[in-house]
Structure formats: structure tokens, C-alpha cells
Amino acid sequence: MKMAKIITIDGPSGSGKGTVSQRVASQLGWHFLDSGALYRLLGLAVSDKGIEFDEVDRIIEVAKTMLVQFENGRILLEGDDVTDTIRTESVGNNASKVAAIPQVRATLLTWQRDYAKPPGLVADGRDMGSVVFPDAELKIFLTASAEERAKRRYKQLKEKGLDVNVRDLTVEIAERDQRDMNRSVAPLVAAEGALELDSTSLSIEEVLDIVLQEAEKKL
Ligand code: DC
């Protein structure tokens, strides 16, 4: 069987990994996995059902049974279009809470690995290079200062018409970083062998160029 090649792009929220990953995937004509969207969908489904974050068995049940569809750039949960809803900071925070539960991560593992199809996959997340695809051909760890990341998120959310302010976003981002970096399973860390890129003073185009050059060298 022909194996899929894999590029992993991990990093904290607002590092630019989502945009860079999608653009790398489209340039190479590869598949794209937005693993954060899966955690966000679960975070949303759990809060919609009024389930508390310590009700682990109920959360796992939702993770195993929730109906998710990715269609023409839209994301549906149980048939409802939640493309924009899952991008809010509150759903991001819920995602980060369910993501700290080891059984949740185990449940989502197979689902994520199933995305690895020829010719290749660009996987965006927190533990793509460290846990989900440890044998990836190229691993990138993309960071940026917390202030810069808050500014980028502000711009993104404003463009979507959401009511946000930079100060609240900075606090929320810092809170989420702490939870993602300090959890016991699959914390946010640079995977072994990952190329660490600080995008604070780089444009998306510059980051994209570096990643594509690395891909050319390694693939
Ligand atoms: O990348 P994102 O902001 O959409 O991710 C939302 C949350 O999901 C993030 O705070 C932590 C969690 N997450 C994770 O734990 N592992 C991943 N591979 C992707 C996201």
C-alpha cells in the first residue's frame, strides 16, 4: 500500500499554524487535518448538552458518537453548521478543557490518524508531531510572542464580526496556553526533531516559504 507523507505543524493558538498548514496543504495538493477543530467540536457538543467537564464517561460517549461532517469548507455538527461558532474563544476554552482528558485524546487518535492518505497530509495541532504522527517526514513547531498572537486573534475574530477586545484575548490566550502546556498527556511541546520557527516578526508568506523549502529538502 502506498504510504502517505506527513508534515506536522504544531504550536500555540495564534501562532499562524492554521493558515500556514492550509496553505502548505493546498500548494502541495495534500490533505489537511485541523485537529483543533475536532477538539472544538467536542467542546461545543459537550457544552450544548449541558455536560460538566468532570463527567468524563459522558464526554467520551459524545466523542464516540457525535456526527461531524466537513462539507465544502463548512463544518457541521449533528447537521448544524457550526463553522463560525467553533472559532469563538469560549469554544476554544471548552476545547482545551476536554483536550486535557486522557481518554478523550485516546478516542480521537484513530480518527486523526485516518486522515493520513496519499499523496500526503498536513496536520495542524498541538501534538501532531509528538504523539499522533511521530514518524512524520517534516515537523514544524511554530510560535510567536503572546502579545503578537493576541493581536492576530483579535484581527481574525473582528473580521468575522465577533465582539472581542485585545486585553480579554491576551488573558484567555495565556490561560489556554498554560492548560495546553501543563496537562499530563500530550502537552504542547516541540516534538523531537521539530524545526522551531518564531513567527513574531515574520509574515505568513515568509513562514510559508520556509516550510515549503524545508518540505522540498525532506520529501
Ligand atoms: O488549534 P485550536 O486553537 O483550534 O485548538 C483548540 C484547543 O484544542 C486547544 O486549546 C487545545 C486543543 N488541541 C489539542 O489539545 N490538541 C490538538 N492536536 C489540537 C487542539
Pairing of strands 80-81, 138-143: unpaired
Q: How far away, in angstroms, is 1 Cα from ligand 1 center?
A: 31
pLDDT at 187 over 60: yes
Residues lining ligand 1, Cβ inside 6 A: 13, 35-36, 39-40, 92, 95-96, 99, 125-128, 176, 180
175 occurs within a structural domain: yes
Q: How many domains does the chain have?
A: 1
Q: What percent of the chain has pLDDT over 90?
A: 76
Which whole number is the average pLDDT over 139-164?
Answer: 90
Nearest ligand 1 atom, CA 128: 18
Q: How far away, in angstroms, is 71 Cα from ligand 1 center?
A: 21
pLDDT at 2 over 70: no
Q: How far away, in angstroms, is 108 Cα from ligand 1 center?
A: 12
Shortest-distance Cα residue to atom 2 of ligand 1: 36
Identify which of 115-119, 160-164, 165-169, 180-184 has the greatest average pLDDT: 115-119
Residue 68: domain span: 5-199
pLDDT, the chain, mean = 94
207 occurs within a structural domain: no
217 occurs within a structural domain: no
192 occurs within a structural domain: yes
pLDDT at 192 over 80: yes
When pLDDT is cut at 50, 70 and 90, the band that residue 13 belongs to is: confident
Reduce the secondary structure of the chain to three states and give it as a string: CCCCEEEEEECCCCCCHHHHHHHHHHHHCCEEEEHHHHHHHHHHHHHHCCCCCCCHHHHHHHHHHCCEEEECCEEEECCEECCCHHHCHHHHHHHHHHHCCHHHHHHHHHHHHCCCCCCEEEEEECCHHHHHCCCCCEEEEEECCHHHHHHHHHHHHHHCCCCCCHHHHHHHHHHHHHHHHHCCCCCCCCCCCCEEEECCCCCHHHHHHHHHHHHHHHC
Q: How far away, in angstroms, is 152 Cα from ligand 1 center?
A: 17
Residue 30's CATH number: 3.40.50.300
pLDDT at 89 over 70: yes
195 occurs within a structural domain: yes
pTM of the full structure: 0.93
Tell me what pLDDT residue 139 has. Answer: 98
Amino acid identity of 60?
I
